[in-house]
Structure 1
Amino acid sequence: MADFSKFNWTFFHSAPVVAILRGLSAEACERVAEALSETGFTTLEVTINTPDVGQIISHLSRQFPSLNVGAGTVCTPDQLDEALTAGASFVVTPILDEEVITRCVTDRIPVFPGAYTPTEIYRAWNLGATAVKVFPASQLGVEYLKDIHGPLPQIKLVPTGGVSLENIASFFAAGVYGVGMGSSLLRSDLIAAGDYSSLKDHLRRVRAQLPQHSGGGAQEPT
């Protein structure tokens, strides 16, 4: 099961970006995790549909104590079991599955469930979500996040999908709690080419767009 003490909120707040590793080999995941750690990022998820995901999460958790390592694309209770058995310290979902959320809340596992509409976002928060993953943000944009934040300022939002180097600052200016980033952060062309030096340069450029102080006030486990 997950060691809940592994999730470090100070780490997360210092760089409130969840890096999404999907479908990469174990070797590539390790190289990417190393690049993230060296450039000031602190939180990554390995999607549950990645081959050998359990071994990868377990290995990264041991190898990189300066990173929060979680599981993403968790849609079912069985997948949640797989993630926790592997040692994931937090869980991200693309959908609103109430059983997954409530189990995480009961067991004090940070959970970022996916939601799209105001009703889904509000429901996820009321179920006890640590923060709500607004997905896909590419279809909604920054103005949508501002519109949600107006009447529901208490809800911590983590837009995912469509966040990039060019617009990440505008998302934080809109008051989001954090963001999720996949290929726009972890460029597949550079990873495929094994060009981790250029990947680190790109990561540093994204990191420079983050506000100095972010987050705070989420429903953090106690």
Structure 2
Amino acid sequence: MHPSDLLFALTTRRLVAIVRGQDADAALDTVLTLVRRGIDLVEVSLSGTDALRVIEKARAVLGPDALLGAGTVLTARDARRAADAGAAFTVTPGVTEAVAESRALGLPVLAGALTPTEVASAVAQGATAVKLFPVGPGAVEWLRALRGPFPQVPFVPVGGIDALMARAVLAAGALAVGVGSPLVGNAADGDPTGLHDRIAMFRSLGVAAS
């Protein structure tokens, strides 16, 4: 995936679903359910059980063009293993060595940053977009503050964002949002209760592209 492809996907999808869980089979089922219900930009966190295997299996089922990435990529080794597993992009929680390694591997990267210094560092290291993390309840205000000195940086706020906050953050100028448990719930741990309803809610609020 070229960086411009990830930017296009973020612009058109507006929602990155974050899947992490302790049941690899359930995590895989969750990824496939999200994609089949139209939430097709998905990050599988390496903090989950057998996450690389989940990525490999999802890639095998979904094919080479699936918008499937690896999250919680901390080290250069993580980036290499994610690429080998079939990740099309990486997501880091901070500005780590994984950013430069991902770019060296030809992978676009959503680099985690929160402060102005971190944002500037992420951009300097070649981040495709900046994962504004962790934003919490002050997401809208923090995004607006950072867009002043960084008007051209594509921001993707992540952390504690539910459907209503996602809509507000997008209205404030975020390129997209990253959402984990408010969308996925416990599905990746083996309890899919309510997953379809939550997907429908995010789409009905205009957060995820229809």
Which TM-score applies when normalising by structure 1?
A: 0.83
5+ residue gaps, structure 1: 214-222
CA distance in 1, matches of 2:54, 2:171: 34
Alpha-carbon distance in 1 for matches of 2:78, 2:186: 25
Shift of 1:25: 1.9
2:49 corresponds to: 51
Partner Cα separation in structure 2 for residue 139 and residue 205 of structure 1: 20
3-state SS, counterpart of residue 70 of structure 2: strand
Note if 1:111 corresponds to 2:109.
yes
Aligned partners of 1:138 and 1:162 also within 8 Å = yes
Asked if 2 retains the 8 angstrom alpha-carbon contact of 1:61 and 1:68, the reply is no
Return the structure number with greater helix share. 2
Q: Which of 177, 197, 202 does residue 201 from structure 1 map onto? A: 197
For residues 85 and 187 of structure 2, the distance between their equivalents in structure 1, rounded to whole angstroms, comes to 28
Give the equivalent residue in structure 2 for 1:220.
none
Q: Give SS of 1:166's match.
A: helix
* Cα deviation, residue 151, structure 1: 2.2
CA distance 1:137–1:194, shift in 2 (3 Å): same
Number of positions where the alignment pairs a residue of Structure 1 with one of Structure 2:
206
SS of 2:59's equivalent in the other structure is helix
Task: Map Cα deviations across residues 28-48 of structure 1 (whole Å, 9 max, x no partner).
Answer: 122212321232211111111
Q: Indicate yes or no: 2:124 matched with 1:89.
A: no
Q: CA RMSD in A?
A: 2.3
1:69-94 CA distances to partner (integer Å, 9 max, x unpaired)?
11111111111122112111100010
Contact 1:11 1:42 in 2 (8 A): no
Give 1:87's aligned amino acid.
Answer: G
- Secondary structure (helix, strand or coil) at the match of 1:133 reads strand
Q: Distance in 2 between matches of 1:204 and 1:27?
A: 23
Asked whether the 8 Å contact 1:54–1:86 carries over to 2, the reply is yes
- Residues 149-198 of structure 1, C-alpha deviations (whole Å, 9 max, x = no match): 12211001011002111211110011111111110110127964343xx3
Q: Is the 8 A contact 2:20 2:188 kept in 1?
A: no
Cα drift, residue 126 of structure 1: 2.1
SS of residue in 1 equivalent to 2:136: helix
Letter of the 2:60 partner, please give it: R
Partner of 1:75: 74
Amino acid at match of 1:39: R
**How many angstroms apart in 1 are the aligned matches of 2:50 and 2:60?**
16
Shift of the 67–200 alpha-carbon distance from structure 1 to 2, 3 Å rule, reads farther
The aligned counterpart of 2:183 is 185
After superposition, where does 1:1-222 map in structure 2 within 5 Å? 4=1, 9=6, 11-65=9-63, 67-97=66-96, 99-138=97-136, 140-188=138-186, 192-195=190-193, 198-210=194-206
In 2, distance between residues paired with 1:187 and 1:138? 17
Between 1:63-72 and 1:9-18, the stretch displaced more is 9-18
